[in-house]
Structure 1
Amino acid sequence: MLYKDFKTSIKSLGFLSIEDFMKYIGVTSSDVLEWEEKDEVPYTVSLIVHLLKGEGELPNNTALDSVVEECLPLASLLEEASSFPHKLEEMFLLQKELNDSTNGKNWELGVNKFGKEINWLRCIHMEVAELIDSAPWKHWKNISADPDMKNIHVELVDIWHFLMSYILQETNVPKGVSLVNTHCIYEAVEDVDVKLMIKESEKLSYISLAIETGNMPSFSGIERFIDQFFRTCKISGLSFTWLQKLYIGKNCLNKFRQDNGYKEGTYIKEWNGREDNVVMIEIIDTMENVSFDILTEELTKAYSKCK
Structure 2
Amino acid sequence: MQTQLQTMLALQDQINTLVNDDWRAQNFPWYRAIWVESAELLEHYGWKWWKKQQPELDQVKLELVDIWHFGLSLELQRGVPEQVAKQMQAELKAGQCAAGDFRENLEKFTLNTLASKQFDLAGFAQLLADVEMAFDELYRRYVGKNVLNRFRQDNGYKDGSYVKNWQGREDNEHLAEIAADLDTGADDYSEQLYSALQSRYRETTAATS
User: 1:157 aligned to 51, 65, 90, which one?
Assistant: 65
Mapped pair 1:132 → 2:42: yes
Which residue type is aligned with residue 296 of structure 1?
Answer: Y
Q: 2:57 corresponds to which letter in structure 1?
A: M
What TM-score, normalized to structure 1? Answer: 0.56
Q: Could you give the per-residue CA deviations for residues 193-245 of structure 1, whole angstroms, max 9, x where no partner exists?
A: 6xx22222233322232235xxxxxxxx44xx111111111111110111111
Gaps of 5+ in 2: none
Residue 138 (structure 1) shift: 2.8
Query: CA, structure 1 residues 90+235, in 2 after alignment: closer, same or farther (shift >3 Å)?
Result: same
* Contact residue 110 and residue 119 of structure 1 kept, 8 A: no
1:91 paired to 2:33: no
121, 129, 139: which one aligns with 1:244: 139
The one-letter amino acid paired with 1:133 is E
Aligned mates of 1:137, 1:269 — CA distance in 2: 33
- Residue of structure 2 equivalent to 1:178: 86
Structure 1 vs Structure 2 CA RMSD:
3.1
Residue 114 of structure 2 corresponds to residue 206 of structure 1: no
Distance 1:255 1:232, change over 3 A: same
Q: Structure 1 CA distance, aligned partners of 2:48 and 2:26?
A: 35
Structure 2 matches for 1:68-107, cutoff 5 A? Answer: 84-104=1-21, 106-107=22-23
Q: Across the two proteins, how many residue pairs are aligned to each other?
A: 200
TM (norm. structure 2) is 0.78
User: Quick one: distance in 2 between partners of 1:138 and 1:285?
Assistant: 36
Map of 1:108 onto structure 2: 24
Larger Rg: 1
Q: Which amino acid aligns with 1:197?
A: F
Please tell me whether the aligned partners of residues 188 and 238 of structure 1 are also in contact (alpha carbons under 8 angstroms).
no
Of the structure 1 ranges 127-136 and 244-253, higher mean CA displacement relative to structure 2 is found in 127-136
1:284 maps to 2:200? no
Identity of aligned residues (%): 31
The structural deviation recorded for 1:288 is 3.3
Instruction: Look up the equivalent residue of 2:157 and give its one-letter code.
Output: Y
Q: Identify the residue that residue 154 of structure 2 maps to in structure 1.
A: 259
What is the alpha-carbon distance in structure 2 between the residues aligned to residue 268 and residue 145 of structure 1?
35
CA shift for structure 1 position 298: 4.3
